[in-house]
Structure 1
Amino acid sequence: MNEVRPETREYLDGLFAPGLRIGGDAHTPYSWIEIAEVQEVTAIRLPSGRLVVDSPWNAEPPRELAFRIPPGEYPVDISWANCPRLANGYYAEHRECAATRLRVRDEPVVTWELALGVGEDPALRAAGAGFAAEDAMGCFADATAWQPLTEPFRRYLTDVAAAGFGGPPIGRDTEDHFELVREDLCEGYFDLVRDEAHQADLLAFGVPEGWGQVWAGRARDGEIAVIIAPGPVPTSPWD
């Protein structure tokens, strides 16, 4: 396990601290984000304790995390950040996802690590291990129920392919996109799929365009306390 740089730890510690301003520099106006609110979105069932954090559009074998957590049902939180955005020469307030968090244990995080997938070389941590985030989307899901939980996403892609170039685009902002999910949360920001046969769930959320990372926070006894996927915010120590 490699300890992260101090600036990375400061960033991760602050992602769920309302009122905290993160980032910014003296030469770039409004380059910070300010954590505005932490909201519990839902709870998801992970009956095997084998957690996938990957793009739900992924047609390849999913990226299952190398560690396991106790089987159970876990709350998921979102951290909303105020991110000033330049439009027509003026900065306007904009709210965006700072991070999505799976709470395994309500205990303070003592150490952080960049979470690896099963079989991945620890050397990948230095290179920024993560997953290809198609459509700027990631998800938490139980590994044993990955196929049924992602079936709506595959079905949607099949429908788009069958429609040809005249079909609807893939995207969170298209009305047809929401036909593939059983429930949307936070005005469509989250897509929730439940599989009653496996008593397992998938929750899809926003991540940076192209590449998503997963951070695991461990409690004092070394056990996993939280799992965080940073969202599409403009300020982070690894930009």
Structure 2
Amino acid sequence: MHRTISDATAEAAADRPLPAVPRHADLVFRAGVRWELPRPGAVVTEVREAGAVRLGSGRLVVADPGHLDSEAEPFTVGVEPGEYPVEVAPARFADDPEHLRVAAARLVVTREPAVSWELAVVAGQDVADLGEDEFYGFGVDTGTACFVDADAAAALGAWLDDNHDTAYDGVFEAHAAPMRDPSTGHGLVAFTSGWGDGSYPTWIGRAADGGVTCFVVDTFVLHGATPRP
């Protein structure tokens, strides 16, 4: 159903501050781009494959893997059930090449270019309620985040609680890695969350035909950065 917006409503909307919008969401996933940061200096982004997530329900949850309990909520926008690759974009610091921070993580739905972006939300969240530079995000306090199917989240959360001492080893060593519960076969892909703990948004990319191309988590490593392709 199409809805016509009155002139008064449109004028009021134009005067209202806009919520945060992603900057350079595609460019982040182009290897070799140099970025100038306000501080601590220049970084160069890389692109790495991080495994794949099976979304049996087609409903995606992005969360701290240490908090995958029964209250983990999926986004209101879903995808067809299936297996989807995950990529991360680590930023390597020019003055300290051993220093890496994951600047973004992407669940790839299709390889179509994204021509528009929208904030991923869960039920009950309305972007119209957001002010300028505000966003709905997920909280992190383990220094990691993950992509996981809604139907597998609670069981994986319980498994991670029982195996906390070893489950995260591969994630911190490689900055991103799959995790799988061998007893159930449920899995997720986890990644280190930029500078660590905080709150981070997820953006949905859409193709020219409106279809979903990807979900991108921005960890704010490149906040205020200027690309120098």
Question: Which TM-score bucket, shorter chain as reference?
Answer: 0.7 to 0.9
CA offset digits 1:96-150 (Å, max 9, x no partner)? 2121111000100101122111221223554211011112221111101111111
CA contact (8 A) 1:206 1:231 kept: no
Partner Cα separation in structure 2 for residue 20 and residue 8 of structure 1: 21
Distance 1:186 1:24, change over 3 A: closer
Residue pair 1:116, 1:125 contacting (<8 A) in 2 also: no
* 2:105/2:218 contact within 8 Å kept: yes
- Distance (Å, rounded) in 1 between the aligned partners of 2:139 and 2:32: 31
Residue 44 (structure 2) pairs with residue 34 (structure 1): yes
Residue 32 of structure 1, CA deviation: 3.5
Q: Secondary structure at the match of 2:66?
A: coil
1:1-239 map, 5 Å: 9-24=22-37, 31-35=41-45, 37-58=46-67, 59=69, 61-84=71-94, 91-93=95-97, 94-123=99-128, 125-126=130-131, 127-156=134-163, 177-178=165-166, 180=167, 184=170, 187-195=173-181, 200-208=186-194, 209-231=197-219, 233=221, 235-237=222-224
Q: Distance in 2 between matches of 1:71 and 1:102?
A: 13
Given the superposition, is the C-alpha separation of residues 187 and 194 from structure 1 closer, same or farther in structure 2, using an over 3 Å criterion?
Answer: same
Report the TM-score, using the length of structure 1 for normalisation: 0.73
- After superposing the two structures, state which structure 1 stretch, 126-135 or 216-225, moved more: 126-135
Q: Percent identity?
A: 31
Deviation at 1:53, TM superposition (A): 0.4
Q: Give the number of aligned pairs.
A: 202
The answer (yes or no) to whether the contact 2:70–2:154 under 8 Å persists in 1 is no
Query: Which runs of 5 or more structure 2 residues have no equivalent in the other structure?
Result: 1-12
Hey, what's the Cα distance between the residues in 1 that align with 2:81 and 2:56? 5
- Runs of 4+ in structure 1 deviating by more than 6 angstroms, as ranges, are none
In the other structure, the counterpart of 2:8 is none
Aligned-residue CA RMSD (Å): 2.9
Report the TM-score, using the length of structure 2 for normalisation: 0.75
SS of the residue aligned with 2:25?
Answer: helix
Give the Cα separation in 2 of the matches to 1:207 and 1:116.
19
